[in-house]
Amino acid sequence: IPESDGGGITAGGTATEVKPENPPSTGSGGGGSTEPDSSATAEPDPTTKPTATSKPTSQPTSTKPAGNAAACDQCIAVAGSSPAAAANYYRQCTDAGKKATCQSKVRASAPNAARAAAFNGNCSAAKGIVAAANAMGAGSGALNAAVKTCK
């Protein structure tokens, strides 16, 4: 098949695929190549050295105290309304002063919470409150008396 100088076909010929010997190296649409442009994902220069700013801004140990402080605050916040939840936060808290505050609040609120649960026939919840309060050192005679009606 005779080809014209433009790489096409001459009149009366059959169309054939013409591939350029050197495909374009840019992915900007020239040549219609469907191959990904290898220059778009250039490798980093091995002679470049990392700078001091490439270090992570936070160290793993810096987040732990913040989490413990939050646990202590949560313990104090829920101690009056949910002694069982407070016990969970109490275990995570490392601040001795805040732990004491939480423990004191649970010691005051747990007997009433356990008594209310027992009165409503929810003995498993009442016993859970007693166990949680005892686990954090906030047990008392009043707390134990609150669940005497449960069997």
pTM over 0.75: no
What confidence tens digit (pLDDT) does each residue in 74-101 have? Answer: 999 999 899 989 999 999 999 999 999 9
State the pLDDT at residue 68: 80
The angle formed by the CA atoms of residues 12, 15 and 20, to the nearest 5 degrees, is: 130
Residue 16 banded pLDDT, cuts 50, 70, 90: low
- For the chain, the average pLDDT equals 74
Residue 66 pLDDT > 60: no
CB within 8 Å of 108: residues ≥ 6 apart: 80
Q: Terminus-to-terminus CA distance in the chain, angstroms?
A: 101
Containing H/E element for 128?
Answer: helix 123-135
pLDDT in tens, 51-60: 555 544 444 4
What 8-state DSSP symbol labels residue 148? Answer: T
Closest CA relative to residue 138, chosen from 94, 80, 92: 80
- Rounded average pLDDT over 28-34: 52
